[in-house]
Structure 1
Amino acid sequence: MRMPHPTPTSQPLPFESDRAPVPPPDLPLEPAMAMTPAAIAAFDALVHELHPDAARVDATRLQRLAAWLSAMPREQARTVVDQRLQRLQELRAMLADPDWDCDPPVRARLDKLLAYVDQGEDLIPDRIPLLGLLDDVLLIELAWPAFAEEAEDYRDFCAYREVRAPAGNGAELRAAWVRERLDEIALLQQRVRIHEHHYAPVFHAAESPFRVT
């Protein structure tokens, strides 16, 4: 059974679930979804290059997802797309931030993700309203576990940098951030140990040290 993976939003795309409607078998493909098997296979290969444990991409799943998105009210569908594109912008900011030393394997995968998203003529051409971004947001969704941990660390680092406003170069800022987080972990562990330690004997109910007269 596939274990749940981190997703870019709290509401995952219904790519593998039964929530997405099944298009009728005789429904003609929309021009936006007229994709060749070779193009779908290439997209699937990119997904699994970025995250080997991702779900497989095929024509049926893409059609189901397109039908699900198309059935939404326009504003709601736009929100689904925009939320994932916003996470992509956070990844771009992480790559461009001189204070953040992005892990090299993550950087290499991100470069490939961005190279795909920045194409206008990819699996589904971006010029097609709404559905033209479906492959982009699906790639972000399926590849997200490859970036989730670093993205979360970067988000926490940015919050630290904004609140503390420490001085120093990028390496010094990251070192100060790590020290503060380690200190917080040590303090938490100390509190747990204190709560688990009994400073006085534990009395059973029948051995109460108090006497009522």
Structure 2
Amino acid sequence: MPIEITFKLSDTDLEHFRAMMRLAMEKARAYPPSEVLEKARAVCAEMEQANLPDFVKQRLDSLETLISALEDPEWQMPEDEKNEILTSLAYFTEPEDLVPDNIPGLGYVDDAIMIELVIQELSEDLNAYMQFCSFRTTEVNRRGDQANTNRDSWLASKRSELRSNARRNRSSGGGTRLFSRIM
């Protein structure tokens, strides 16, 4: 019979994990970006083969999505964003974890916490990339393989959507129009 255990990390606990992350980031500066990515991918592959608790599996999906964003040529990620994500993957380049991975049920707890910290830090990037992937899938389904789907086309689509929403809000009385008050 499975047991569910819930725990809460205090600000002090989180600061400990953040300090570990900063230390890993310092060490990872010695690695070229390709090696950081390779090691992060290797950790993901290893975790996929393990019998992971659900709370780790959920976070692993987000980590894999961040790695995909880095490698996706159509996403056209700016260098500063790439460096931020690569830096956040630093913990996964370290062979020695806080909790050894081979401990059943608990071995990936530290990895899950670190992934969660990375996800919280990069949630906007992660959400934008997932929206882009959805846009790309829709465009390919609608227009076929010739669809021009890259970051610029996605941003143009987002701008158009925002303008359309603004016009719709104005015409439905969603906001007071300056010109209607003057005339």
TM-score w.r.t. the length of structure 1 is 0.54
- Give the letter aligned to residue 18 of structure 2: D
Work out the CA distance in 2 between the residues paired with 1:127 and 1:151. 29
Q: Quick one: distance in 1 between partners of 2:7 and 2:77? A: 27
Deviations 1:40-93 (A, max 9, x none): 95x43244689xxxxxxxxxxxxxxxxxxxxxxxx9x81111101111111111
Counterpart for residue 80 of structure 2: 105
Question: Which has the bigger relative contact order, CA under 8 A and spacing at least 6?
Answer: 1
Residue 45 of structure 1 aligns with which residue? Answer: 19
| Long gaps (5+) in structure 2 | 1-5, 25-50, 177-183
Name structure 1 gaps, 5 residues minimum.
Answer: 1-11, 18-39, 51-74, 199-213
CA distance in 2, matches of 1:174, 1:96: 13
Structure-2 change in CA distance of 1:174 and 1:150 (3 Å): same
Which residue of 158, 168, 172 corresponds with 1:181?
Answer: 158
Residue by residue over 1:92-127, the C-alpha shift from the partner in whole angstroms, topping out at 9 and shown as x without a partner, is: 111111111224333223223323224342211222
Counting only pairs closer than 5 Å after superposition, residues 102-181 of structure 1 correspond to structure 2 as 102-165=77-140, 167=146, 173-181=150-158
2:65 to 90, 110, 127: 90
Task: Output the CA distance in 2 between the equivalents of 1:146 and 1:105.
Answer: 14
- 1:26 alignment partner in structure 2: none
Shift of the 193–147 alpha-carbon distance from structure 1 to 2, 3 Å rule, reads same
Distance 1:108 1:16, change over 3 A: same
Structure 2 residue aligned with 1:201:
none
Secondary structure of the corresponding residue to residue 150 of structure 2:
helix
Using the alignment, how far apart are the partners of 1:110 and 1:100 within structure 2?
Answer: 14
Percent of aligned pairs with the same amino acid:
29
Q: 1:195 to 1:110 in 2, by over 3 A?
A: same
Instruction: For residue 132 of structure 1, give the secondary structure of its aligned residue in structure 2.
Output: coil
C-alpha distance in 1 between matches for 2:23 and 2:72: 25
In structure 2, what is the Cα distance between the partners aligned to 1:79 and 1:114?
Answer: 21
1:66-77 to 2 correspondences below 5 Å: none
> Is 1:190 paired with 2:164?
no
Q: Return the structure number with greater helix share.
A: 2
Q: TM-score, normalised by structure 2?
A: 0.62
